[in-house]
Chains A and B, each alone.
Chain A
Amino acid sequence: MDNAESMVDKKGESGTFHVNNGINGHVANGGSCSCCCCGGGGSSSTGPGNCCSGVGGGSAFDSVQHLHHHHHHLGGGGDDAECNGSPAKRCRLRRRTESVRRSRPPFPWFGMDIGGTLVKLVYFEPVDITAEEEQEEVENLKSIRRYLTSNVAYGKTGVRDVHLELRNMTMCGRTGNLHFIRFPTQAMPLFIQMGRDKNFSSLHTTLCATGGGAYKFENDFRTMADLELLKLDELDCLIRGLLFVDRMGFNGRTEGYYFQNPSDTESCVKKPCTLDNPFPMLLVNIGSGVSILAVYSQSDYKRVTGTSLGGGTFLGLCCLLTGCETFEEALEMASKGDSTNVDKLVRDIYGGDYERFGLQGCAVASSFGHMMCKEKRDSISKEDLARAMLVTITNNIGSIARMCAVNEKIERVVFVGNFLRINTVSTKLLAYAMDFWSKGQLRALFLEHEGYFGAVGALMELLKTSDDL
């Protein structure tokens, strides 16, 4: 923690950058990386070149510590001193020094978002590892990398969303693949135990974590696995991660999409888009609960409101009503159900449209309204119940989001969060609700990496050296 902070502190010291610039040219030539990130100011926009992973064996901690302090001593004029000693040693030393000076953290690079229901983990797998690096890579780091990248499932409940992997992207001067992994928050104790078993603390990486769990599990990480978390605000991370992924694109495609003709099921089609000029936007994050933010710039935003009727409510009530156990199961059932057997529609009450108020007969008048009647309760299918639950929760979120958009005078509403994962029923409903009730004034936008932006934002904090990663 202290270390991480001091590294972060360093980035602002102009002296550091002068030194770095001196080295830059030299290293960049021999490096394998053209980098677009890590610029602290105009002068360092080319960024560092190849650098070592920063952690070398069991003594890594000491050596980094040492260098860290050393770095303090050196200040602006330590260059010459480093050029002594054997060339190989000198080079290695230089790269480590550089890594620290450049505030590039040692591998592994993780960003974690510990939510109420799910833990979202992003892992940056460097693919530009030099032979030398490979040689120096400590065994447990190597094994972590292999474990994560060669599997798509971890334990009973961990899943890597392979289809979301961002390939050959550059972060902080390194090229690699960004992996997206999730597992239930309930498995958090197991995860922490694994961290202890794998002696994760010896890697001396900074574990950047956001979401409520960063606070809730901080002490467990410390006492059980000797790991210090760098706790980050979840909304900061969410916005930062979202803007970054949108800018990076999705392996050549766009990250964002919307539905054309949302009010017409026949011709409704998914269309790609980017968030050019993203501000202002109303950001609706649907996790276990829902947060609604008005975002005016990366750092200027406010939480407008939230609702406790979110993904957790959908799943929780589905579990109670249908006996299902997973989100996938619940969605699968919902996809086969018919909510009109459960919900009371306007036409069920008025025999048709309620013209006095311009309500269509097919509008839902009362969610679960038919369930007031015993005969109907006895004859209802689980699928119908799941569908009704999904429609109820989704429409409610849509309704609140729409009101917020109108109150905040924002026309673009971006929906994110894992509730939308594999959930086209909801995305289409939200798109429809925004369009229909606003008479085309509001547009709903969605992003492919739905629930992972917080974790990406956390990772970016780890790699934070400039505003324009």
Chain B
Amino acid sequence: MAECGGGDSSTSSHTMDKSITLPPDEIFRNLENAKRFAIDIGGSLTKLAYYSTVQHKVAKVRSFEHHTEDAASDKLYEISVQEEVTARLHFIKFENAYIETCLDFIKDHLVNTETKVIKATGGGAHKFKELIERKLGLKVDKEDEMTCLIKGCNFVLRNIPHEVFVYAKHADSEFRFQTTHPDIFPYLLVNIGSGVSIVKVESEDKFERIGGSSIGGGTFWGLGALLTKTKRFDELLQLASRGQHTNVDMLVKDIYGGSYGSLGLTGDLIASSFGKSATADKEFSKEDMAKSLLHMISNDIGQLACLYAKLHNLSRVYFGGFFIRGHPVTMHTITYSINFFTKGEVQALFLRHEGYLGAIGAFLKGAEEDNPNQYSWGENYAGSSGLMSVSPDMNPLQRARSGTFDMLEMDRLERQLVNLPLLQDSSSYIPDTVDLTEDALAREYWLDCFEEALDGVVKRAIGSQPDIPEVTERAEKFRQKYRNKLQTLRHQPFAYGSLTVRSLLDTREHCLNEFNFPDPYLKIKEKENDMALKYYLKVVKSLEELGWEQRQLALVRGVLAGNVFDWGAKAVSDVLESDPEFGFEEAKRQLEERPWLVDSYDQWLQRLKGPPHKCALFFVDNSGMDIILGVMPFVRELLSRGTEVVLASNSGPALNDVTNGELQILIERIAAMDPVIQAGLMDDRLTLVQSGSSSPCLDLSRLDKVLAMVVRERQTDLIVIEGMGRAIHTNYYATLNCESLKMAVIKNSWLADRLGGKLFSVVFKYEVPAGKLSQNSSALTPS
């Protein structure tokens, strides 16, 4: 049911806190372009949503082809920084006490005059209707609460990869994030507001309230306040977390003296909640009563949820509502209850953005004409506050302060993202190799590593925009923001879902973009590309002089050597910076001799003796030597064998990774020199696609829709993933439905150490899916 509308904290809105001054840069961002407002007013918290456009700089590359000859000799391609407008959703959560201040602030900063209505939902929407209409001059348009909730829920499930988690109180990592099943339906949403609503959701538009209960958060709060004279919900939870329910509840062992063995009921089970207070004539402590009440209500809700889940044969059960809202105490008791009643068959699932669902849904209702569900959206780590620390030991007032303004920002992605069709099991696919949320040692290492690398990133960011006056100031802001994020993640590694090397890298990219550093490596990449192109023909020629078998090894060594050039890896960027002449040949010498750390080269060679692959999808990595001298000769060989090649590169910049825009120019240049590549392009046997990503890592469950289509159409039977970010930090354990090749040089001594190797150890992992073995065994014995 509705979030409670008449609780104590909402009555405190009579004495609104107007003294607060809002830092506009940080809270209601992009307000000037805001349109389509929505508001969700609950019993104690207000969630405001708006859609806005963000203008930011993007670096574009353009070939000089159409210009004069002498210009082309000077520079590889033209770089222009353009203004681009992208769409962003802003969600801000604050206490009802600030509602008036916030509305005033919005009024003062709102420029857009097109906006006429504000969508509203939540129990408090009615109460504040007049205030909102007066302050903002917008017409309040009420939307059904449950519809909004479900819409919001579908949206986060679909767009935020680590939205769902299970809670484990005593585990190393309390929050265990789940991979979201690509098909999010059907599921059960148990919304625990003042009462409980149990909703079965079958599709985007089809859902049904199949049941509910009047025993909910309001019962805990109301009864708790009566029993303990404690007014605030948070304080009640605090009391409960310190109490002993066994002093108040009648347990099985109080009745039986032990367990009720024949029914398998253990002695510690609660036989009768508050049963002792019915018989014992004594005083009970507030803490004990609060705990007993908490158990009673959590167990009851859990039991009903299980009965409904069983009746409707549903195994995905999400819990939300203010009773849950990030409170470890209630998440724990609900988890316990679900586990007990289903004998472990069903896990209680929670949502990271549970508090925003109503606002998101209300917003989506208002934005239907923009077709928000046609796009893919991504959480912006720079602008979102993440999951707050909710330790019950923390002073609740302090917590309320720190969490006074929570934010979520979602960027509309240019491309619609889908699963790679060749993933063996998309529902269990986890891109990341190491979950830093669970691995404390690794977490510490990587956080330190990213912090140490910060100076270099700032330096390069400044260097990328030498002519712009306030660049240093902006770079410093970036430094501060990213450092703060790293600090937050040290204490709350769960803030943005599972902490991974990928999320650390992505967060850095988001922060750089935030401060208009769209592509700090732009110039470096250009320089490297330019240099590498000069060597291309020489490299190809020397390869052609080799015998077939020798050449295959040389090609692989070439890809690996090229991959040594990487500004993303600290050890390498140091070398590159101190010695720019560090050459391709030198890189080869640095490579580990066979047998490599992971070495299935022999199987690969055997496979090459068989029939050619139909089509290879190659996820490329860095600019310069890597793509031009390492990858392209390898691609050339594949083309010569009769294999079609699809080169997948990033849509947007990330470190020195080659972007799709850059790669197009590079391929054109190579084609002009090399008839094999030229023919490949002409015959459409060499294609370029974008990955849909702007990350140095690779999430195979969020790829550009066009890429997925091409993969399917061309009957791709080989996937090549190159580089540490894509083949080691992510996808190392990814299983695919076709042959795959994962190649990388470990350019981080700590990681090398962990994997049992050393710096510049080589991973060459060739895998054939289990079912395809027999088919390929014939390939292993060439006729």
Are A and B part of the same complex?
yes
Name 11 A/B residue pairs within 8 A (Cβ), A-sorted.
A184-B279, A312-B274, A313-B273, A313-B278, A316-B277, A316-B279, A348-B6, A349-B5, A366-B195, A367-B215, A372-B6
A356-B146, A357-B146, A368-B219 are known contacts. Are A407 and B273 too (CB-CB below 8 A)?
no
The residues in A between 347 and 405 inclusive whose CB is less than 8 angstroms from any CB of B are 348-351, 356-357, 359, 363-375, 377, 385, 392, 395-396, 399-400, 403-404
Q: B217: shortest Cβ distance to chain A, in Å? A: 8
Q: B140: shortest Cβ distance to chain A, in Å? A: 15
Contact A309 B300 (CB under 8 A): yes
- Interface flags for B202-220 (1: CB within 8 Å of A; 0: not) read 0000000101011111110
Interface size, B (range): 35 or more
A319-B278, A373-B11 are known contacts. Are A212 and B144 too (CB-CB below 8 A)?
no
CB neighbours (8 Å) of B310 from chain A are 407
A23 CB-CB contact with B under 8 Å: no
A49 CB-CB contact with B under 8 Å: no
- Our pick among B213, B225, B277, B300 for the contact of A320 (Cβ within 8 Å) is B277
The residues in A between 177 and 231 inclusive whose CB is less than 8 angstroms from any CB of B are 184-186, 211-213, 215-218
Contact A313 B218 (CB under 8 A): no
A215-B256, A316-B277 are known contacts. Are A370 and B300 too (CB-CB below 8 A)?
no
A313-B296, A316-B277, A356-B146 are known contacts. Are A369 and B272 too (CB-CB below 8 A)?
no
A289-B272, A356-B146, A399-B213 are known contacts. Are A367 and B218 too (CB-CB below 8 A)?
yes
Stretch in contact with the other chain, from B59-67, B129-137, B258-266, B687-695: B258-266
The residues in B between 233 and 288 inclusive whose CB is less than 8 angstroms from any CB of A are 248-250, 252, 254-258, 260, 262-263, 270-279, 281, 284
A185's nearest neighbour on chain B, judged by CB, is B279
A321 CB-CB contact with B under 8 Å: yes
B304 CB-CB contact with A under 8 Å: yes
Given contacts A309-B215, A357-B197, 9 further A-B contacts (CB under 8 A): A212-B252, A317-B227, A344-B194, A348-B6, A350-B2, A367-B219, A369-B6, A400-B303, A403-B308
Q: A392: shortest Cβ distance to chain B, in Å? A: 7
CB neighbours (8 Å) of B254 from chain A are 116
B208's nearest neighbour on chain A, judged by CB, is A357
B757 CB-CB contact with A under 8 Å: no
A343 CB-CB contact with B under 8 Å: yes
B210's nearest neighbour on chain A, judged by CB, is A357
A373-B8, A403-B308 are known contacts. Are A216 and B256 too (CB-CB below 8 A)?
yes
Stretch in contact with the other chain, from A55-63, A121-129, A300-308, A450-458: A300-308
B307 CB-CB contact with A under 8 Å: yes
- Our pick among A289, A400, A404 for the contact of B271 (Cβ within 8 Å) is A289
Pairs A-B, 3 closest by C-beta atoms = A371-B222, A212-B255, A312-B272
CB neighbours (8 Å) of B126 from chain A are 351
A256 CB-CB contact with B under 8 Å: no
A233 CB-CB contact with B under 8 Å: yes
A117 CB-CB contact with B under 8 Å: yes
- Interface flags for A65-91 (1: CB within 8 Å of B; 0: not) read 000000000000000000000000000
A344-B194, A400-B307 are known contacts. Are A373 and B218 too (CB-CB below 8 A)?
no
The residues in B between 281 and 321 inclusive whose CB is less than 8 angstroms from any CB of A are 281, 284, 289, 296, 299-300, 303-304, 307-308, 310-311
A426 CB-CB contact with B under 8 Å: no
User: Which one of A308, A317, A375 has the greatest number of beta carbons of chain B within 10 Å?
Assistant: A308
Contact A288 B5 (CB under 8 A): no
Give Cα A357 to B198, complex, Å. Answer: 11
Contact B215 A392 (CB under 8 A): yes
Give Cα A375 to B222, complex, Å. Answer: 12
Contact A370 B6 (CB under 8 A): yes
B749 CB-CB contact with A under 8 Å: no
Contact B255 A115 (CB under 8 A): yes
Contact B11 A404 (CB under 8 A): no
Contact B307 A372 (CB under 8 A): no
B744 CB-CB contact with A under 8 Å: no
Give Cα A4 to B197, complex, Å. Answer: 54
Give Cα A364 to B219, complex, Å. Answer: 11
Contact B279 A368 (CB under 8 A): no
